[in-house]
Structure 1
């Protein structure tokens, strides 16, 4: 695992709270991670991050943007900063997602599945 960038992004997302509209627009809502071609290193997919939107923002719905980011027939890992409202308050949870669609090659799905535990161990609190 490329520990520096993956763990740094995770810690930044975990610690970052947005209170003002300007902070909301700058904060990362989602990132994608993939295996490097050598299938031994987990790396951040540069340019695959969702930085805008908040709950109730139907124009820039961050979840809809996140779903569009997911690769069609390829595997990846993702972190999504879910913001939602309950009857009592507004809540935020950082969600780890293992994306392996049916059309992805079986061998690659198995490699990603076996690597999932390694990334989860490094991302404390998932």
Structure 2
């Protein structure tokens, strides 16, 4: 059984292991984060990097390229005002202002289709610079 589906607008597919890796983050807490990139040659979204469960938000943001677009999911653990341990999954569309216009367009036109494949994401953030996805942004959105 294949999970691959083509984005009719861009022709981009979602690789089988991409969805499986997301499910490992969601269900098994196997990863703190997953960074995805669009492979131009294969025309599909693939896993670029997986963060170990103990990695920090700083480790995650440092793993994103400063000059190219990426999709990412981050499993954010926090404690509520009622002292309850919670976890929320954030989808982050990273498109730094210095990235190539072609890359920005490809990621923008593929985002909704790819985001739809990731069932269980709680929040979405579109960021063009690090301050737009600062840890405080996640805290504010999760509460």
Normalised TM-score (structure 1): 0.78
Structure 2 contact 15–44 (Cα < 8 Å) conserved: no
2:83 aligned with 1:71? no
* CA shift for structure 1 position 52: 3.8
Equivalent residue runs for 1:26-45 within 5 Å: 27-38=30-41, 40-45=43-48
RMSD: 1.6
- Runs (4+) off by over 6 Å: none
1:40 and 1:121, CA in 2 relative to 1: closer, same or farther beyond 3 A?
Answer: same
Matched residue of 2:93: which SS? strand
* Structure 2 unaligned spans of 5+: 1-12, 122-143
* Structure 1 unaligned spans of 5+: 18-26, 54-59
- Which residue pairs with 2:129 in the alignment? none
Matched residue of 1:95: which SS? strand
